[in-house]
A and B are shown apart, each in its own frame.
Chain A
Amino acid sequence: MSTPARSGSSLPAAYSERQPAQLADVLERVLDKGIVIAGDIQINLLDIELLTVKIRLLVASADKAREMGIDWWEGDPFLGRGSKDGALEERLNRLEEAAGLGDGDRSESERKS
């Protein structure tokens, strides 16, 4: 009744040979994690072109997830979705956007927090 082919074949693939790591995973770690020790050469991480592309997307997605109530990694326990009104409106906006009804600007300007 389920689809055994899919789950059956996806499982070993995840564990088998070590594939070259995806760039996003390497960037996330090497540029954003690891211990920070002061060196002689000062680099400005904001100058990193890829950071502006990739890491900003990461940050943007953190905001998006927060809007959805998936913000537990910031210390909040499960699902702070008590604030119904704002969250509902946001979902409506997103649906309208997806359907091409609303103006995309709205959620963009509200993203700041």
Chain B
Amino acid sequence: MTAPGRPPARVETATGWYVYGVAPTAEASEQHVHGVRGVAGKGVSLVDAGAVVAIASEVPLAEFGDDPIADNLRDPAWLERRVRAHEEVLEAVLGSVPVVPFRFATIYRSEEHLRAALGEDGRFEQLLEQIRGKVELGVKGFLSPMARAAEETGAGTDVTSGRRYLEDKQSARRRAEEHDALKAELAHESHERLAAVAHDAVANALQPSEVSGRDAEMFLNGAYLVSRDEEERFRGALQELERKFAATGAAYELTGPWPPYNFVESAT
């Protein structure tokens, strides 16, 4: 049905607007996004929506339209590139203006739709004030997994004595309980101390080692909203934790600064 040499159907050449986040119109400037590539590799613009501007990219609907994106989301390589691009755009503006980060793939069919949707949303101004001058820092805490040797001897060797077997099992169970209690204590105290030097704090679900890519067990996956001028203080609190719990084998990993992804969902 398509004649040879015919240009692609009109719908495939259409574009939409992919929004990474919003910033105060009075403060954002094209300069902040100059040279940033965006999710479609074509640059990032500011779309004026009244009090806020959308940090956005024009994207081909052949890639981001309803049907194509459903397929693309199943392609891990596609998704990773786009997710990382989303983050990089927001990182580029992070130091200059407050920005409310959007979740992945918020897309409008036209600038008019974008303006209509975002210009009337009253949440942004309040959120922007809440996060002004602050960044999100991530802290992950890890603990070496419990030594497995004892468990394995309990099961693997020829156990001739049932009593010996039970004793081994009991002591392994005790060690496991102590290990879990230590993890819980580390998690609780670490989060509390870090939250004390932050404006807001969230403890997220722990990443298993398949996700974290580390052998050590995660005991804390926290996000902290920290004033830029209090970052040093926050780092100091983290160093204090490192020292305090060094003997337990606990190790911490600091990530960020991130756009405040974990601190923009509250308002309605």
Contacts and interface: CB of A to CB of B under 8 A. Distances in A.
Given A25-B255, A70-B183, A94-B176, A47 B70 contact: yes
B172 A95 contact: yes
Contacts of B206: 58, 61-62, 65, 70
Interface string B114-142: 00011001010001000000000010000
Contacts of A25: 138, 255
Given A11-B239, A49-B74, A101-B155, A37 B219 contact: no
B105 interface: yes
Contacts of B218: 61
Pairs of residues from A and B, 10 with the lowest C-beta to C-beta distance, nearest first? A99-B155, A73-B203, A33-B261, A62-B205, A34-B103, A29-B261, A41-B107, A61-B208, A39-B106, A34-B101
A78 B184 contact: yes
B235 A15 contact: yes
Contacts, number: 198
B105 A43 contact: yes
Interface string A23-34: 111111111111
Interface of A: 2, 7, 10-11, 14-15, 21-44, 47-50, 53-54, 57-62, 64-65, 68-70, 72-73, 78-79, 81, 88, 91-92, 94-95, 98-101
Contact of B242 (A11, A40, A48, A49): A11
Interface of B: 16, 19, 21, 64-66, 69-70, 73-76, 79-80, 83-84, 86-87, 100-109, 113, 117-118, 121, 123, 127, 138, 148, 151-152, 154-156, 169, 172-173, 176-177, 180-181, 183-184, 187-188, 191, 202-208, 210-213, 218-219, 235, 238-239, 242, 246-247, 251-255, 258-259, 261-262, 264-265
A36 B103 contact: yes
A30 B39 CA distance: 13
Contacts of A53: 76
B69 to A, nearest CB: 6
Given A40-B113, A62-B206, A64-B208, A49 B213 contact: no
Contact of B69 (A11, A23, A43, A78): A43
Nearest to A65: B206
Given A34-B265, A44-B70, 7 more contacts: A24-B212, A26-B84, A34-B259, A35-B265, A39-B105, A50-B79, A95-B176
Nearest to B180: A68
A61 B219 CA distance: 11
* Residue of A27, A30, A68 with most partner-chain B CB within 10 A: A30
B174 to A, nearest CB: 10
A42 to B, nearest CB: 7
A40 B80 contact: no
Contact of A2 (B76, B151, B247): B247
B184 A69 contact: yes
A97 to B, nearest CB: 10
A70 B187 contact: yes
Contact of B117 (A38, A57, A59): A38
A42 B70 CA distance: 9
Contacts of B265: 33-36
A70 B185 CA distance: 9
Contacts of B246: 2, 7
A24 B213 contact: yes
A60 B258 CA distance: 25
Given A47-B74, A79-B188, A41 B204 contact: no
